[in-house]
Structure 1
Amino acid sequence: MAIREQGPGGQKRKMDAGGLTAFFREIRELHTPDEVTFLCVGTDRSTGDSLGPLTGSRLLEYGFPHVIGTLPSPCDANNLTNRIDEIPLEHVVIAIDACLGPYAAVGCYFVSMEPLHPAKSVGLVLPAVGHYSLAAVVDANGPKPYRTLQTTPLHRVMGMAGTIAAAAAAGFGISR
């Protein structure tokens, strides 16, 4: 889980669900699904932080061949370093994580052609991950991020995970 806001240099692009397909299409123009690993960061033990494993499970349902971080096998702060080692060196990584942000950005997505910094908002120092990143603003940032994540509506997180997976499938030209 990371806090994401649009950077001053425009490196992170804020978008709604409609823009995600175009983001994945940009990646597809450079890389095939066989060359891409989705690294979906999060845990199934917190509603707000379950976006990663929910998204990873949905990506597998669409048939993406390389997904790390699913409901049965999450990629979280405790195992992130080991899970990164599973990624073939020649693969391009798309890192996906939940984040907290400004109230007006809840339900939006921040995408970037640069790595994601997981767990930054809760004070953990983890390695930056991904060649591309997508952070979904699941709730508003506040003084108690752990509590916020525990009380984030599951319906919102599930909807956002479904939107990300569907956009990835559409962008890569994959249908069920």
Structure 2
Amino acid sequence: MAIREEESRKRRKMDAGGLAAFFREIAEVYSAEKLTFLCIGTDRSTGDALGPLTGSRLLEYGFPNVTGTLPSPCDADNLVQRITEIPEGQIIIAIDACLGPPAALGCYFAAAQPLRPAESVGLRLPAVGNYSLAAIVDVNSPRPYRTLQTTPLYRVILMADQIALAAAHGFGLTD
């Protein structure tokens, strides 16, 4: 996914501090059992590893329904199949790494709407999620695959940890 200026107006831009409030708003409406975190990405690309890193951390915090982890990623090759495995009636929070403008590097864009995975690399996948969180792991470039391959791992790990911790705080799973 790539965040462009016109699309970013539909989403709330926030730093790590705003993430807990985003998850708290969802927690006021739905219990953790009614949610499935759909963490999109692959561990074969540094920048795109945000999804499976986040999914693995969410499991460690005790969230019961997580699709897309390091041992079992949800990526472009299996996204459609993995979506069909989510039980009917679950509220989906889609989480994905994306590229964005330089001013948004390290920020998050949250929305009560779906996101379109792999858009930045030119793939056409279905829009997913009742809620979505796009993490700007690097800057848009003419060569998005290369950019995702060379994104600093430290930034991706830090952002994945921030998302998972904020979700745990928002749902009251931590002190």
TM range (shorter): over 0.9
Residue 121 of structure 2 corresponds to residue 122 of structure 1: yes
Whole-angstrom CA distance in 2 between matches of 1:162 and 1:9: 23
**1:31 offset after TM fit, Å?**
0.2
**1:89 offset after TM fit, Å?**
1.1
**1:30 offset after TM fit, Å?**
0.5
Q: What's the counterpart of residue 166 of structure 1?
A: 165
Matched-pair contact (CA < 8 Å) for 1:6–1:13: no
Q: What's the counterpart of residue 45 of structure 2?
A: 46
Matched ranges for 1:105-120 at <5 A: 105-120=104-119
Whole-angstrom CA distance in 2 between matches of 1:32 and 1:13: 22
Whole-angstrom CA distance in 2 between matches of 1:9 and 1:135: 10
Residues 114 and 7 (structure 1 numbering): CA distance in 2 closer, same or farther, change over 3 Å?
farther
Matched-pair contact (CA < 8 Å) for 2:8–2:109: no
Q: What's the counterpart of residue 143 of structure 2?
A: 144
Whole-angstrom CA distance in 2 between matches of 1:39 and 1:148: 23
Whole-angstrom CA distance in 2 between matches of 1:162 and 1:17: 10
What amino acid sits opposite 1:106 in the alignment? L
Residues 23 and 79 (structure 1 numbering): CA distance in 2 closer, same or farther, change over 3 Å?
same
Whole-angstrom CA distance in 1 between matches of 2:164 and 2:19: 10
**1:8 offset after TM fit, Å?**
6.3
Residues 119 and 19 (structure 1 numbering): CA distance in 2 closer, same or farther, change over 3 Å?
same
Whole-angstrom CA distance in 2 between matches of 1:93 and 1:10: 22
List 4+ stretches of structure 1 deviating above 3 A.
Answer: 5-10
Q: What's the counterpart of residue 73 of structure 2?
A: 74
Q: What's the counterpart of residue 58 of structure 1?
A: 57
Query: RMSD of the TM alignment (CA)?
Result: 1.3
**1:6 offset after TM fit, Å?**
5.1
Whole-angstrom CA distance in 2 between matches of 1:3 and 1:9: 10
What amino acid sits opposite 1:66 in the alignment? N
**Structure 1: stretches of 5+ with no match in the other structure:** none
SS in 2 for 1:175: coil
- Of all paired residues, the percent bearing the same amino acid is 67
Whole-angstrom CA distance in 1 between matches of 2:139 and 2:95: 18
Aligned length: 175
